[in-house]
Amino acid sequence: MTLARLVTEGRVRAGVDLSGLTTYRLGGPAAFLMDAATSDDLMAVAAVLAEETREVLVLGRGSNLVISEAGFEGLAIRLGPEFGGIELDAVPRVTVGGIVPLPQVARTATAAGRRGLEFLIGVPGSAGGGVRQNAGCFGTEMVDVLESAVVFDLLTGKSATVDAFALDMTYRHTSVTATDVVLSATFRAGEGDPVPGLELIREHTRWRRLYQPGGTLNAGSVFKNPPGDSAGRIIDSLGLKGLRIGGAEVSGKHANFFVAMPGAEPSHVYLLVKKVVAIVESETGIQLEPEIQFVGHFENPEKR
C-alpha cells in the first residue's frame, strides 16, 4: 500500500489547510490528510507506514496545538463519526469514542447521575487527546478516572485495550505516542444525584468565564505547572500579562493563556512562548515546559 494509492482512491487528500482544525485557527496545510471513517482506514495507514517513512499527526479538536505557517509535511489523521458516541454502562462506567468532546462527556454523564467526571467541563479537547496528554482541570486528571482505553498502533496495525495503569500516566504525560490513536476511553464514575453535579459544572463554567479568556482564539494552558507552583502565577508575578509579539499576546485574564489577536501568525505564538520561557528562567531560575505542541518547522526565530 502506498500513500499515492490512497490519494488516488480518494481516501487521502493532498494539500489540506489545517488552520480551521485548530483552536488558534492558525497554521499552514498538511501535505496529506485522512479523515478516517472506519478502522479499515487506519489499517490502510498502517500498511502505508510499513512501506514508507511518513510523519503522522493525529488530530483531535486542535487544542494545545500550533501548526507552523509552512504547514505539516506528513500525514494528518482525523477520526470520523464511527469513533464518537457515549455509552453509560450499569457498573457505572462511561465509555466514549475518541472524538467526543470532553465537556460533552461531563454534561452527559452528570445528567445521567454518573458523578466524578464534572471536571471534564474545563478540558477543551477530545477524549482521545485528553487520554494521550493525561489532561486535567480543577485538581483532577484523567489518571484519576480512567479505567482503560482502546489504542490503535499505526506501526503494527493492531488495536488493544490498555488498562490505565499501563499507560504510564503522570502529570500531562502518558506512554501514548504520536503513532498511537486512542479510539475510545472508559471512565470510572460514581452514582449520585445529578442536581449537585450539574451545579458543580455551572460553578466550574462560571469560574472559567471569570478567570480565563473565553471568546478568544487560544489553545488552553500554554505551560505545564512547575511542581508546587502555577505557571500562570509565575508569569503574572513578572508583569508579563499583555506582553505581545505580533498578533500573539499573554492574556490579561490568565497569564498561562496566550491569545491570537487579528493578524496573528503561528510564529508569533512560537516566539512569544520562547520569550516568556527565557524571561522566567532569567528572573526565577525556573524552566517552564510548554504544554502546547508545536508542529512543523519554526526555523527562523528572528522572523517578524
DSSP-based helix, strand, coil % in the chain, nearest 5: 30, 30, 40
In contact, 70 and 17? CB cutoff 8 Å: no
What is the C-alpha to C-alpha distance for residues 46 and 86, in angstroms, rounded to an integer? 27
In the block, residue with C-alpha cell 528572573: 283
**Alpha carbon distance 160, 300 (integer Å):** 41
Angstrom distance (rounded) from CA 66 to CA 295:
6
Q: What is d(CA 21, CA 99) in angstroms, rounded to the nearest whole number? A: 13
Nearest Cα neighbor of 223 from 285, 177, 287, 167 is 287
H/E stretch holding 141: strand 140-141
CA end-to-end span of the chain: 42
Which residue is listed with cell 455509552? 87
Give the strand pairing for 190-191 and 13-17: unpaired
**Residues designated catalytic:** 172, 221, 291
DSSP 129: H
Helices (H), the chain: 3-8, 39-51, 102-111, 127-133, 194-211, 231-237, 266-284
